[in-house]
Structure 1
Protein backbone atom coordinates (compact mmCIF):
# COMPACT_ATOMS: atom_id res chain seq x y z
CA UNK A 1 0.00 0.00 0.00
CA UNK A 2 2.79 2.44 0.90
CA UNK A 3 4.57 1.66 -2.39
CA UNK A 4 1.40 2.39 -4.32
CA UNK A 5 0.94 5.70 -2.51
CA UNK A 6 4.56 6.62 -3.25
CA UNK A 7 4.07 5.79 -6.93
CA UNK A 8 0.94 7.96 -7.13
CA UNK A 9 2.71 10.90 -5.49
CA UNK A 10 5.62 10.51 -7.90
CA UNK A 11 3.30 10.35 -10.90
CA UNK A 12 1.44 13.45 -9.74
CA UNK A 13 4.75 15.28 -9.28
CA UNK A 14 5.82 14.36 -12.83
CA UNK A 15 2.49 15.53 -14.27
CA UNK A 16 2.75 18.84 -12.42
CA UNK A 17 6.38 19.36 -13.49
CA UNK A 18 5.71 18.55 -17.15
CA UNK A 19 2.58 20.71 -17.19
CA UNK A 20 4.40 23.67 -15.68
CA UNK A 21 7.06 23.48 -18.42
CA UNK A 22 4.45 23.69 -21.15
CA UNK A 23 5.52 20.33 -22.54
CA UNK A 24 2.05 19.06 -23.33
CA UNK A 25 1.72 18.23 -27.02
CA UNK A 26 -0.54 20.53 -29.03
CA UNK A 27 -3.96 19.16 -29.79
CA UNK A 28 -4.87 18.27 -33.38
CA UNK A 29 -7.10 21.33 -33.64
CA UNK A 30 -4.10 23.56 -32.91
CA UNK A 31 -1.73 21.80 -35.31
CA UNK A 32 -0.80 22.74 -38.84
CA UNK A 33 -3.83 22.18 -41.09
CA UNK A 34 -2.50 19.25 -43.11
CA UNK A 35 -5.32 17.56 -45.02
CA UNK A 36 -7.58 20.61 -44.86
CA UNK A 37 -8.83 23.35 -47.14
CA UNK A 38 -8.91 27.02 -46.18
CA UNK A 39 -10.08 30.31 -47.65
CA UNK A 40 -8.27 33.66 -47.52
CA UNK A 41 -9.77 36.24 -45.18
CA UNK A 42 -9.99 39.09 -47.70
CA UNK A 43 -12.63 40.98 -49.62
CA UNK A 44 -13.43 39.69 -53.10
CA UNK A 45 -11.94 41.44 -56.10
CA UNK A 46 -14.29 43.92 -57.81
CA UNK A 47 -16.74 42.13 -60.08
CA UNK A 48 -16.09 38.71 -58.52
CA UNK A 49 -17.28 36.68 -55.54
CA UNK A 50 -14.32 34.33 -55.70
CA UNK A 51 -11.82 34.18 -52.83
CA UNK A 52 -8.43 32.45 -52.92
CA UNK A 53 -8.21 29.05 -51.27
CA UNK A 54 -5.51 26.57 -50.30
CA UNK A 55 -5.91 22.83 -49.99
CA UNK A 56 -2.98 21.35 -48.09
CA UNK A 57 -2.43 17.61 -48.36
CA UNK A 58 -1.17 15.36 -45.58
CA UNK A 59 2.40 15.58 -46.92
CA UNK A 60 2.33 19.36 -47.36
CA UNK A 61 1.46 19.40 -51.05
CA UNK A 62 -0.77 22.36 -51.79
CA UNK A 63 -3.34 23.23 -54.43
CA UNK A 64 -3.96 26.94 -54.86
CA UNK A 65 -7.10 28.44 -56.36
CA UNK A 66 -6.45 32.17 -56.47
CA UNK A 67 -8.57 35.08 -57.69
CA UNK A 68 -7.87 34.05 -61.26
CA UNK A 69 -4.87 31.73 -61.47
CA UNK A 70 -4.40 28.23 -60.07
CA UNK A 71 -1.32 26.26 -59.16
CA UNK A 72 0.48 23.95 -56.81
CA UNK A 73 3.12 24.29 -54.16
CA UNK A 74 4.67 22.61 -51.15
CA UNK A 75 4.57 23.46 -47.44
CA UNK A 76 7.32 22.37 -45.05
CA UNK A 77 6.66 22.88 -41.35
CA UNK A 78 8.84 22.56 -38.25
CA UNK A 79 7.21 23.85 -35.09
CA UNK A 80 5.99 27.37 -35.83
CA UNK A 81 8.34 27.76 -38.81
CA UNK A 82 6.85 27.40 -42.26
CA UNK A 83 8.35 27.38 -45.73
CA UNK A 84 6.15 27.58 -48.79
CA UNK A 85 7.59 26.90 -52.22
CA UNK A 86 5.27 27.76 -55.09
CA UNK A 87 5.18 25.70 -58.24
CA UNK A 88 4.18 27.16 -61.56
CA UNK A 89 0.83 28.89 -61.80
CA UNK A 90 -1.68 28.16 -64.52
CA UNK A 91 -1.96 31.41 -66.43
CA UNK A 92 -5.64 31.69 -67.20
CA UNK A 93 -7.05 34.63 -69.12
CA UNK A 94 -6.71 37.01 -66.21
CA UNK A 95 -7.25 40.75 -66.21
CA UNK A 96 -3.96 42.43 -65.24
CA UNK A 97 -5.18 43.55 -61.79
CA UNK A 98 -6.27 40.02 -60.80
CA UNK A 99 -3.07 38.50 -62.19
CA UNK A 100 -1.05 41.00 -60.11
CA UNK A 101 -3.14 40.25 -56.99
CA UNK A 102 -2.51 36.51 -57.49
CA UNK A 103 1.23 37.04 -57.93
CA UNK A 104 1.36 39.27 -54.83
CA UNK A 105 -0.52 36.68 -52.77
CA UNK A 106 1.88 33.90 -53.80
CA UNK A 107 4.86 36.16 -53.06
CA UNK A 108 3.47 36.99 -49.58
CA UNK A 109 2.85 33.31 -48.85
CA UNK A 110 6.39 32.46 -49.99
CA UNK A 111 7.83 35.22 -47.76
CA UNK A 112 6.03 33.98 -44.62
CA UNK A 113 8.41 32.48 -42.10
CA UNK A 114 6.04 31.44 -39.33
CA UNK A 115 2.47 30.31 -38.91
CA UNK A 116 -0.01 30.29 -36.06
CA UNK A 117 -3.42 28.81 -35.51
CA UNK A 118 -6.28 29.86 -33.30
CA UNK A 119 -9.25 27.56 -33.72
CA UNK A 120 -10.37 27.73 -37.35
CA UNK A 121 -8.09 30.66 -38.21
CA UNK A 122 -4.60 30.07 -39.63
CA UNK A 123 -2.16 32.95 -40.16
CA UNK A 124 1.01 32.92 -42.21
CA UNK A 125 3.29 35.64 -40.83
CA UNK A 126 5.99 37.43 -42.76
CA UNK A 127 6.31 40.96 -44.13
CA UNK A 128 2.56 40.60 -44.77
CA UNK A 129 0.27 38.52 -42.55
CA UNK A 130 -2.18 36.35 -44.45
CA UNK A 131 -5.20 35.02 -42.55
CA UNK A 132 -7.13 32.00 -43.74
CA UNK A 133 -10.28 30.37 -42.37
CA UNK A 134 -10.53 26.61 -42.36
CA UNK A 135 -13.46 25.30 -44.36
CA UNK A 136 -15.10 23.25 -41.65
CA UNK A 137 -18.46 22.49 -43.25
Structure 2
Protein backbone atom coordinates (compact mmCIF):
# COMPACT_ATOMS: atom_id res chain seq x y z
CA UNK A 1 0.00 0.00 0.00
CA UNK A 2 2.85 2.41 0.79
CA UNK A 3 4.44 1.74 -2.61
CA UNK A 4 1.11 2.44 -4.33
CA UNK A 5 0.73 5.69 -2.41
CA UNK A 6 4.30 6.66 -3.29
CA UNK A 7 3.66 6.00 -6.99
CA UNK A 8 0.48 8.11 -6.96
CA UNK A 9 2.30 10.88 -5.10
CA UNK A 10 5.04 10.78 -7.72
CA UNK A 11 2.53 11.00 -10.57
CA UNK A 12 0.73 13.88 -8.89
CA UNK A 13 4.04 15.68 -8.30
CA UNK A 14 5.01 15.21 -11.96
CA UNK A 15 1.63 16.53 -13.15
CA UNK A 16 1.95 19.56 -10.86
CA UNK A 17 5.54 20.19 -12.02
CA UNK A 18 4.56 20.13 -15.68
CA UNK A 19 1.49 22.28 -15.09
CA UNK A 20 3.52 24.83 -13.15
CA UNK A 21 5.93 25.66 -15.98
CA UNK A 22 3.43 28.18 -17.24
CA UNK A 23 2.46 26.46 -20.45
CA UNK A 24 -1.14 27.32 -21.18
CA UNK A 25 -3.44 25.83 -23.76
CA UNK A 26 -2.18 26.40 -27.28
CA UNK A 27 -4.45 26.95 -30.23
CA UNK A 28 -5.76 23.77 -31.81
CA UNK A 29 -3.98 24.59 -35.07
CA UNK A 30 -0.42 24.59 -33.76
CA UNK A 31 -0.42 22.67 -30.53
CA UNK A 32 -2.12 20.14 -28.37
CA UNK A 33 -5.82 19.88 -29.28
CA UNK A 34 -7.30 21.28 -26.10
CA UNK A 35 -11.06 21.69 -26.38
CA UNK A 36 -11.43 19.04 -29.09
CA UNK A 37 -12.57 15.45 -29.42
CA UNK A 38 -10.49 12.72 -31.04
CA UNK A 39 -11.05 9.08 -32.01
CA UNK A 40 -8.55 6.23 -31.74
CA UNK A 41 -7.24 4.89 -35.06
CA UNK A 42 -8.42 1.33 -34.38
CA UNK A 43 -11.23 -0.95 -35.47
CA UNK A 44 -14.26 -1.58 -33.29
CA UNK A 45 -14.30 -4.71 -31.15
CA UNK A 46 -16.18 -7.69 -32.67
CA UNK A 47 -19.93 -7.24 -32.33
CA UNK A 48 -19.69 -3.48 -31.70
CA UNK A 49 -19.49 -0.27 -33.71
CA UNK A 50 -17.78 1.66 -30.89
CA UNK A 51 -14.26 3.03 -31.22
CA UNK A 52 -12.52 4.70 -28.25
CA UNK A 53 -12.56 8.48 -28.10
CA UNK A 54 -11.16 11.28 -25.95
CA UNK A 55 -12.84 14.62 -25.39
CA UNK A 56 -10.14 16.95 -24.05
CA UNK A 57 -11.22 20.16 -22.33
CA UNK A 58 -9.47 23.52 -22.45
CA UNK A 59 -7.62 22.78 -19.19
CA UNK A 60 -6.64 19.22 -20.09
CA UNK A 61 -9.54 17.49 -18.35
CA UNK A 62 -10.60 14.50 -20.44
CA UNK A 63 -13.66 12.36 -20.89
CA UNK A 64 -12.79 8.86 -22.14
CA UNK A 65 -15.17 6.56 -23.93
CA UNK A 66 -13.40 3.25 -24.50
CA UNK A 67 -14.77 0.16 -26.25
CA UNK A 68 -17.07 -0.46 -23.29
CA UNK A 69 -15.95 1.48 -20.22
CA UNK A 70 -15.93 5.25 -19.76
CA UNK A 71 -14.44 7.68 -17.32
CA UNK A 72 -12.41 10.81 -16.77
CA UNK A 73 -8.76 11.74 -16.67
CA UNK A 74 -6.39 14.68 -16.90
CA UNK A 75 -3.72 15.58 -19.47
CA UNK A 76 -0.78 17.78 -18.50
CA UNK A 77 1.22 19.05 -21.46
CA UNK A 78 4.50 20.99 -21.63
CA UNK A 79 5.97 21.25 -25.12
CA UNK A 80 5.93 17.73 -26.53
CA UNK A 81 5.97 16.13 -23.06
CA UNK A 82 2.68 14.73 -21.82
CA UNK A 83 1.36 12.97 -18.74
CA UNK A 84 -2.03 11.35 -18.55
CA UNK A 85 -3.53 10.56 -15.16
CA UNK A 86 -6.63 8.38 -15.34
CA UNK A 87 -9.52 8.68 -12.97
CA UNK A 88 -11.86 5.81 -12.08
CA UNK A 89 -13.71 4.11 -14.93
CA UNK A 90 -17.41 3.31 -14.90
CA UNK A 91 -18.06 -0.41 -14.72
CA UNK A 92 -20.56 -1.11 -17.46
CA UNK A 93 -20.74 -4.92 -17.24
CA UNK A 94 -18.37 -5.34 -20.16
CA UNK A 95 -17.59 -8.75 -21.64
CA UNK A 96 -14.22 -9.96 -20.31
CA UNK A 97 -12.33 -9.55 -23.60
CA UNK A 98 -13.67 -6.02 -24.09
CA UNK A 99 -12.88 -5.09 -20.47
CA UNK A 100 -9.31 -6.34 -21.01
CA UNK A 101 -8.98 -4.30 -24.22
CA UNK A 102 -10.20 -1.22 -22.31
CA UNK A 103 -7.76 -1.85 -19.46
CA UNK A 104 -4.87 -2.38 -21.91
CA UNK A 105 -5.71 0.84 -23.75
CA UNK A 106 -5.92 2.78 -20.48
CA UNK A 107 -2.55 1.35 -19.38
CA UNK A 108 -0.96 2.33 -22.72
CA UNK A 109 -2.42 5.85 -22.49
CA UNK A 110 -1.17 6.19 -18.91
CA UNK A 111 2.34 5.23 -20.05
CA UNK A 112 2.71 7.86 -22.80
CA UNK A 113 5.51 10.39 -22.37
CA UNK A 114 5.43 12.49 -25.55
CA UNK A 115 2.98 13.50 -28.24
CA UNK A 116 3.17 14.69 -31.85
CA UNK A 117 0.70 16.26 -34.24
CA UNK A 118 0.52 16.08 -38.00
CA UNK A 119 -2.59 17.86 -39.24
CA UNK A 120 -5.58 16.09 -37.72
CA UNK A 121 -3.53 13.12 -36.45
CA UNK A 122 -2.35 13.09 -32.85
CA UNK A 123 0.13 10.43 -31.72
CA UNK A 124 0.73 9.63 -28.07
CA UNK A 125 4.14 7.98 -27.76
CA UNK A 126 5.27 5.66 -24.99
CA UNK A 127 5.96 1.92 -24.94
CA UNK A 128 3.00 1.75 -27.36
CA UNK A 129 2.18 4.50 -29.86
CA UNK A 130 -1.51 5.42 -29.93
CA UNK A 131 -2.81 7.35 -32.94
CA UNK A 132 -5.95 9.45 -32.71
CA UNK A 133 -7.76 11.49 -35.37
CA UNK A 134 -9.39 14.80 -34.52
CA UNK A 135 -13.13 14.80 -35.08
CA UNK A 136 -13.36 17.73 -37.47
CA UNK A 137 -16.94 17.37 -38.74
Describe the SS at the equivalent of 2:84: strand
Partner of 2:76: 76
Partner of 1:86: 86
Partner of 1:100: 100
CA-CA distance at 1:93 after TM superposition = 1.0
1:55-100 deviation per Cα after TM superposition (whole angstroms, max 9, x unaligned): 0000000000000000000000000000000000001010000000
Alignment of 1:1-137 (within 5 A): 28-137=28-137
In structure 2, the gaps of 5 or more residues are 1-25
8 Å Cα contact 1:30-1:118 kept in structure 2:
no
8 Å Cα contact 2:27-2:33 kept in structure 1:
no
TM-score, length basis structure 1: 0.80
Give the structure with higher Rg (CA): 1
8 Å Cα contact 2:28-2:34 kept in structure 1:
no
**Whole-angstrom distance in 1 between the partners of 2:83 and 2:35:** 17
* Count of aligned positions: 112
CA-CA distance at 1:27 after TM superposition = 6.8
**Whole-angstrom distance in 1 between the partners of 2:105 and 2:94:** 15
**Deviating 4+ runs (over 2 angstroms):** none
1:89-119 deviation per Cα after TM superposition (whole angstroms, max 9, x unaligned): 0010100000000001010000000000000
In structure 1, the gaps of 5 or more residues are 1-25
**Whole-angstrom distance in 2 between the partners of 1:49 and 1:27:** 31
CA-CA distance at 1:29 after TM superposition = 1.3
